[in-house]
Amino acid sequence: MSVKYVYMFSEGTGKMKELLGGKGANLAEMTSLGLPIPEGFTVTTEACTLYNTSGKVMSDEVKAQVDKAIEELEKISQKKFGDTKNPLLVSVRSGSRASMPGMMDTVLNLGLNDEAVEGLAAATNNPRFAYDSYRRFIMMFSDVVIGVSKHYFEVVLDEFKTSKGYKDDLEMSTEDLKELVATFKKIYKDKHGDDFPSDVKGQLYESIAAVFRSWDNPRADYYRRMNDIPYDWGTAVNVQSMVFGNMGETSGTGVIFSRNPATGENKIYGEYMINAQGEDVVAGVRTPKPFEELEKDMPEVYREFLGYSDKLEKHYKDMQDMEMTIENGKLYILQTRSGKRTAAAALRIAVELVDEGLITTKEAVLKVDPKQLDQLLHPTFDPKAIALAKPIGKALPASPGAACGQVYFTSKDAKDAHDRGEKVILVRNETSPEDIEGMAASQGILTVKGGMTSHAAVVARAMGTCCVSGCEEIKMGTKSFELAGCTIKEGDFISLDGSTGLIYNEVIGTVESEISGDFEKLMKWADEHRKLKVRTNADTPEDARKALEFGAEGIGLTRTEHMFFEPDRIPKFRAMIMSDTLEEREAALESIMPFQKKDFVEIYEAMEGRPVTIRLLDPPLHEFVPHSEEDYKVVAGITGKTVEELKAKAAAMHEINPMMGHRGCRLSVTFPEITKMQVRAILEAAIEVKKNKGFNVVPEIMIPLVGEIKEYRFVKNIVDETAKEVFEKMGTTIEYMVGTMIEIPRAALTADAIAKEAEFFSFGTNDLTQLTYGLSRDDAGKILNDYIDNNIYEVDPTARLDRTGVGELIDIACKRGKSTRPDIKLGICGEHGGDPYSIEFCHHVGLDYVSCSPFRVPIARLAAAHAALGAVNER
Ligand code: PEP
Ligand code: MG
């Protein structure tokens, strides 16, 4: 059976995103809604995959189906492809399942050659326009399809204008444009060898292929990785009849959102330009006008557009990002999609759509991307400092947030500075997709040109990075710029307020952001739907309190070794681990026990009786031995040993691979006295809090790095013995639980045996991933980049749970654990516990809770609700 690779817009539906891409599916949907769409067809993502996996050759079958679709388009438009009288011109645009703005390629005005250009001149009665379109097409085709950079053409264009004394493109006459067309064709021939192709079908096949290939280009690759879009999705290609916004003063183009994408306010919001093509707005080459002004310029078109905007929003039940073109007073909708928005806008829109009766609370929960909540938790300026600061300029508030950093002028310099540990503000004339890495490395982005829908604005908003755009007063120099009489050089500090558009020539302190009422509402709805509990990884009372504010329901991991990072504690801890005799160690333990107990008291109090899991000491030794001479001297002062003796001790303790060395429960086996001290602190603190505050704390004592039931049993015996001693001494008892981490593959495989004696499991997926992959946590960074660049791993498995391998071990451990203890409590405390894709897995595998760092608690709550509501985090 032959495969259908090409769909006319009238044949598709809005549900066919996988095959037609988001743009193609929406064009099909809008066609059936009766909106004024320029006609066209979509070449499917399957055709893209076929092309990219069969030696980058377009099959005859695909070509034949494209030919048929062109014939159909000719019939509908009553124009002919390549015609000498009334030629059909088309645009060729990418459109994958997920929107990837500006990452892939586009060719406009396709279908022109030396004859068709005359046809276009005759049909439009506008030879200047026809030759202008032709020279644009030659440049775009050469750049996108053949790889002859548009730079060569731009240089010639600038020289030509200078030689004629023109300032603006509009000053060029038809004759000038004809001359440019000839010069452009010559550049093509000089660089490429062949003549510029005059066969319009050939132009079309080549352009479709180029868009397929652009799925593979480095910036698309980078964007996909950043947004978790799988390589194998491929892109569809939309071929659409051209309509022209650059036919004169009654033509124009615009990008409009049905609500404000920065704040979520229910008010139409956008920009347009008269006498321009769509790319001019997106590229930010000229600064456009606010959409409301169209009411004066073209009142009927304005009202007609409002009607479509409303219709589309009600149909899709979501805020829409629409592109329109007006050709000689006639309005066309070129595309619509769910608009990208800030996290604050996402919450407000979701909540208001519920209030307006358009969606249910379930749908509202599903509308907000958990990962995006990160943005809300970013800092804003310290209100006192900002009140005193004096701005030196104001431009468009393109993406909210506060940023303060050192200025760099190229993407590479920004990235290098970021890698050196600097906070960076990237300043550019305008950004293009090549700048994406520099943008991602920056705290804030400032551009000279471009509006709220320019590349810089759209991409920064999606990244959650502060951006101020279109500051045209800036005069750019070489590695410096001037604004309001100030010269700001590379490396100087400035501050940007992405919510007001203000620019400051000074360092301004930032504070954590406040969360709006919409956030609380949406979180409450999320909580009603989720099954997974959300706990936090907190090592200090402050962390515990912060997490509680974010809605944590308990603590899933307290890393007790992290309680000793402070300068007054670490030397005592070092003295303990470097002791030579039992007496020395016990003395050192006595000196650290009060700290530990006090922290436990405060953590229990902060959690007010919610569950708290405390893990016994698990210090990879290389992280804890002294590093500097100074450190050694301090420990020497405490222990009475010489620096030389301590260095000899450290050398003796040295391990080739500390991550697999003397840590976790192995430490308890060698030095049971450490475990005894910790258990005393854990239980005495719980008894005190129960007595003093009335909280019924049931400490969950967690034994790390277990791989063998006998080793678990050995440590559990110490715990139980010590508990007896504590209860005797204190004259009272409390409940406690003992369980283990599952972070060694052998523990997962023998979980049935372990569960007979362990009351809970917590998956330590950091170590479980390290040990399943055999990939050192300390060295993975260096290796992973190459793996990801070569598409061996799609993502970093230390950040996103590998469902296939590590996930299988988790599944096995859950099943085997439950086979011997059906009510075993199951959780996860590795970093994956805060990652939405991994949380979805945790839900399906039947864990009771996930535990993550405090700032990720809201993300986890929402992700858990998404999982329970059946949303799929695709990869
Ligand atoms: C783990 O291994 O997943 C874990 C939580 O413990 P740590 O990161 O402290 O080794
Ligand atoms: Mg671990």
For the stretch 285-318, pLDDT in tens is 567 899 999 999 999 999 999 999 999 999 999 9
Per-residue pLDDT band for 382 (boundaries 50, 70, 90) equals: confident
Tell me which residues are annotated as active site: 455, 829
Between 343-352, 435-444, 497-506, 784-793, the lowest mean confidence (pLDDT) is in 784-793
Model confidence, pTM? 0.77
Q: How confident is the model at residue 101 (pLDDT cuts 50, 70, 90)?
A: low
Residue pLDDT, tens place only, 17-52: 999 999 999 999 999 999 999 999 999 999 999 998
Which pLDDT belongs to residue 540?
Answer: 85
Who wins on pLDDT, 651 or 566? 651
pLDDT at 498: 85
Centre of ligand 1 to C-alpha 743, Å, is 8
Q: Report the nearest atom of ligand 1 relative to the CA of 559.
A: 9
Ligand (nearest to CA of 765): 1
Distance 705 CA to ligand 2 centre (A): 7
Most confident segment among 79-83, 499-503, 721-725: 721-725
- Shortest-distance atom of ligand 1 to CA 831: 3
Instruction: Indicate the length of the chain as a whole number.
Output: 875
Poorest-pLDDT segment among 96-105, 520-529, 727-736, 787-796:
96-105
Q: What distance in angstroms lies between residue 662's CA and the mean position of ligand 1's atoms?
A: 15
Instruction: Give the atom of ligand 1 at the shortest distance from the alpha carbon of 766.
Output: 3
Asked which of 44-48, 121-125, 375-379 is least confident by mean pLDDT, the reply is 375-379
- For residue 469, give the H/E element and its range: strand 466-469
Q: Are the C-beta atoms of 80 and 88 separated by less than 8 Å?
A: yes
pLDDT at 875 over 60: no
- Residue located nearest, by CA, to atom 1 of ligand 1: 764
- Cα torsion 188, 192, 194, 198 to 10°: value is -50
If you measure from the C-alpha of residue 758 to the centroid of ligand 2, how many angstroms do you get, rounded to a whole number? 17
pLDDT computed for residue 251 by the predictor: 93
Residue 273 predicted with pLDDT over 70 = yes
- The alpha helices in 356-472, defined as continuous H runs, are 361-367, 383-388, 411-419, 436-440, 455-463
User: Residue of the nearest CA to atom 8 in ligand 1?
Assistant: 766
Distance separating alpha carbons of residues 558 and 600, to the nearest angstrom: 10
Average pLDDT rounded to a whole number, residues 694-698:
96
- Work out the percent of the chain whose per-residue pLDDT is above 90: 70
Q: Which residue has the higher pLDDT, 98 or 656?
A: 656
For 726-748, what is the mean pLDDT? 98
Q: Show the tokens assigned to 555.
A: 């603590």
Q: Name the residue with the closest Cα to ligand 1, atom 4.
A: 764
User: Once rounded to an integer, what is the mean pLDDT over residues 655-661?
Assistant: 89
Q: Is the CB of 264 under 6 A from ligand 1?
A: no
DSSP conformational letter for 144: I
Q: Nearest-CA neighbor of 101 among 457, 435, 455?
A: 455
Using an 8 Å Cβ cutoff, are 860 and 850 in contact? yes
User: Does 766 contact ligand 1 (Cβ within 6 A)?
Assistant: yes
Residue 282 — pLDDT band, cuts 50, 70, 90? Answer: low
The percentage of residues in the chain with a pLDDT greater than 70, rounded to a whole number, is 96
Taking CA atoms only, the protein residue closest to ligand 1 atom 3 is 764
Q: For the residues 189-210, what does the mean pLDDT come to?
A: 95
Q: What value does the mean pLDDT take over residues 130-150?
A: 93
Residue of 875, 868, 858 lying closest to 369 (CA atoms): 858
Mean pLDDT of 741-760: 98
| Cα 774 to middle of ligand 2, angstroms | 14
**Model confidence band, residue 642 (pLDDT cutoffs 50, 70, 90):** very high
Whole-number pLDDT of residue 620:
76
- Burial group, residue 835, by CB count within 10 angstroms (0-12, 13-18, 19+): buried
Pocket test for ligand 1, best of 539, 741, 767, 851 (most atoms within 8 A of CB): 767
Instruction: With cut-offs at 50, 70 and 90, classify the pLDDT of residue 99.
Output: confident
The Cα 373–Cα 464 span in angstroms is 10
Nearest atom in ligand 1 to 770's CA = 2
Over the chain, what is the mean pLDDT? 91
